[in-house]
Chains A and B, each alone.
Chain A
Amino acid sequence: MSRRSLSRIAGQVGTAAAVLLLLVWSLGPVFWALVTSLTPPADLLSRELRLWPANPSLEHYAKLFGATSSSQGNAVQSVWPQFSAAFVNSLVTSLASTVITVALAAFGAYAFVRLRFPGRELLFVLVVATLAIPAYTVMIPLYRLMISLKLIDTYVGVTLIYVSAFLPLALWLMRSVYQAMPISLEEAAWLDGAGRTYTLMRIVLPLAAPGLIASAILTFLSAWGQFMVPLVFSPTLATKPLTVLIPEFVTRNYVDYGLMNAAGILAIVPPVLLVLFLNRFLVSGLMAGATK
């Protein structure tokens, strides 16, 4: 065996080990949440370590989906209507803010890289600097503002706040993507008489697909996980998302670990599906770039 193939095998083993490490790191805690969600309440407090529950039970999921539910052990109304409403709210606000953020970032970042206009650098620095603002800093003035605009507890209000929170990162990411792109293609199009906007839509954006999709993934996941903003700006089930609903299962007199974990496992599903779906484009976007 030659040295070359030896090092190749070593490389493959190393890659396999790295993949394994990544799998354990990412999946381990989620797997444990799954196990917890499937363990009957009584077995949760056993000192024995079990990697899979002895008597798996869908009890906690039944509490979420069932016709009746329990709160502090009492049979109360099913939480399913609340859960499903919150699920839809999370989807709507996250998707809307993703679409708007990515669109604004796609055009805005292009302007920051390729178009010269007064105040360009200053504006970019200011916008990116807002990344460092903690939510609590702006909460009260923002609340006053949203009240006066009558946007409290509306999809529009929550979505706008999400956009303002996640736009800086998306913008910054897209700017670095455009900067790394060779300008020669655009120049060729301009020489052919194509307009700026046409060039951007037809030539630049398809090439920037991986960056756009990465921005979309980032924005969607950030919006999906938001807690502070909807806590204050989404008081009712009209717009309240899962992240605010789920902690209500932990009440002052009761922590239902099983129920929490079950709700968490369900909350993972849409973002993962979205990532799987988007990733196809992330890869194909890359292929387009390679085969040009």
Chain B
Amino acid sequence: MNRRTLLASITALPLLLGLPAFAQDQAKPHDGKAISVLLPPWGTLPKEMTDRFTSETGISLDTQTLGWDDIRTKIVTSMVAGTAPANVTEVDWSWVGQFGSAEWYTLLDDKVDAALIADLPTAAIFKFDGKLMAVPYNNDFRILIFNRDHLDRAKITEAPKTPDELLAAAKAIKAAGIAEYPIGLPLSATEGSATAWYLLTKAFGGDLFDAEFKPLFTTPDSAGYKAMSFEIEALKAGLVDPAATGLKDVEIQELFKSGKISFDVAGWAGNLAVYSDKAKSQVAEHAEAGLMPHVGPKSRTFGLPGAVGIPVSAADPEAGLAFVDWLLKPENQMASYAALGNLPTRTSVLEKLNAEGKLASGDVLLQQAALVEPLFAQGTPGWYPEFSSAVASTLNQAAKGQISVDDAVKQIAEAAIAAQAQ
């Protein structure tokens, strides 16, 4: 052991013992180290923040940015090859089952402050087998976003509370000639279309699977079946743009911003900030959030947060951990929201932002945030990506009229069983 690592491990002791306050007063324990972090474009921190990180911790930061799909390719390639893609990487909620069962990420339960975990309701989504493998920094959940002006002009006073009310409102708006296709729903063969269906399944009061991962969406009275029928009927009734079969979720968002649609049904909570910004949206004054319409007693939604984790093969996990801790500090969560629109994951920070009036439609957002559940109560399974791409391509086939809803749900159920079997 050379002198520097010895020194580092001694000075890192207080940190490991859970005394970060003490450590801060000390000389910087990781001074002079360098780490790399691999994050998607929305995690590319502004220079002001990275400079501050370096001056606070003494660690110099090498930020690697890759597209979201590409990050997974990169992580998988390097982990299979037995090296670390970076000291710290993005961990998406949908990768948890795969990366968890592959044991690719350092377990963080006793490495992160318990009080911090308690402040992070979405941390549960990043537990595999009950153990924390990444810490959520970017909050995302689905919420109904609508154009208040369209509703007013169609003489609708309240945001729709049930799927039926949503359909009725859309019909009224279309009839009044305010929007040609009032409902925005992606139906292309992409992940965004699949997640919209999951969300609607929750809205219709059901779940995708039971506790044993048996599909629950194949019978006509099931929520999943109804959710898909809802989407296809809305498409056939001309309430959804026929072009939606080729549209991704991001393109639906562009339509909303330009005022072409009235409802972004599977809206992203963080996007409200974008929708209500005049520089970015033509409907800035009219964008509002409503609780997700629901059939059951309470509104339901699910979370799709992004987290940061430390690959097991990464050198110097303590320095990586210092970055994770730093990123989750309240001031940095706020700065990341201000600069990049990443909705904070800490409940205390969200409340603070709302109290300061910095959160668009903040009250509804907080109300819905309290109702966020994971898509899979048991934790995201390893076969999720395979299942989800089957959902996306089957839903796309149904929307193009190649197969019926009945066939589609059966096909998805078969794909789910096949994905689980392997």
* Shortest CB distance A252–B (Å): 5
Q: Is there an interface contact between A143 and B77, defined as CB atoms closer than 8 Å? A: yes
Q: Is the interface of B mostly helix, strand, loop or mixed?
A: mixed
Number of A-B contacts (CB under 8 A): 93
Contacts of A144 in B (CB 8 A): 81-82
B62 on interface, CB distance cutoff 8 Å: yes
Contacts of A122 in B (CB 8 A): none
Contacts of A74 in B (CB 8 A): 338-341
Segment among B19-27, B38-46, B113-121 that sits at the interface with chain A:
B38-46
CB contact under 8 A between A147 and B36, given known A248-B41, A255-B251 = no
CB contact under 8 A between A251 and B41, given known A139-B77, A231-B70, A231-B74 = yes
B18 on interface, CB distance cutoff 8 Å: no
Q: What residue of chain B has the Cβ atom nearest to residue A143's Cβ?
A: B81
CB contact under 8 A between A45 and B339, given known A232-B77, A251-B67, A253-B268 = no
Contact with B along A221-244 (1 / 0, CB 8 A): 000000000011001100000001
Contacts of B44 in A (CB 8 A): 71, 76
Contacts of A231 in B (CB 8 A): 66, 70, 73-74
Q: What residue of chain B has the Cβ atom nearest to residue A45's Cβ?
A: B258
Q: Is there an interface contact between B65 and A253, defined as CB atoms closer than 8 Å? A: no
Q: Is there an interface contact between A248 and B67, defined as CB atoms closer than 8 Å? A: yes
Within 8 A of A (CB), among B76-106: 77-78, 80-83, 85-86
B314 on interface, CB distance cutoff 8 Å: no
* Shortest CB distance B201–A (Å): 22
Contacts of A255 in B (CB 8 A): 248, 250-251, 254
A134 on interface, CB distance cutoff 8 Å: no
A104 on interface, CB distance cutoff 8 Å: no
Q: Is there an interface contact between B339 and A76, defined as CB atoms closer than 8 Å? A: yes
Q: Is there an interface contact between B250 and A140, defined as CB atoms closer than 8 Å? A: no
Interface residues on B, range: 35 or more
Q: Is there an interface contact between A73 and B274, defined as CB atoms closer than 8 Å? A: yes
A42 on interface, CB distance cutoff 8 Å: yes
B66's partner among A45, A77, A248 (CB-CB below 8 A) is A248
CB contact under 8 A between A42 and B341, given known A251-B40, A251-B41 = no
Q: Is there an interface contact between A72 and B341, defined as CB atoms closer than 8 Å? A: yes
Using CB atoms and an 8 Å cutoff, list the residues of chain A in contact with chain B. Answer: 42, 45, 71-74, 76-77, 139-140, 143-144, 147, 231-232, 235-236, 244, 247-255
Using CB atoms and an 8 Å cutoff, list the residues of chain B in contact with chain A. Answer: 36, 38, 40-42, 44, 46-47, 62, 64-68, 70, 73-74, 77-78, 80-83, 85-86, 248, 250-251, 253-255, 258, 260, 268, 270-271, 274, 277, 279-280, 282, 338-341
What are 8 A-B residue pairs whose CB atoms fall within 8 Å in the complex?
A71-B44, A73-B274, A73-B341, A144-B81, A147-B81, A231-B73, A247-B67, A248-B66
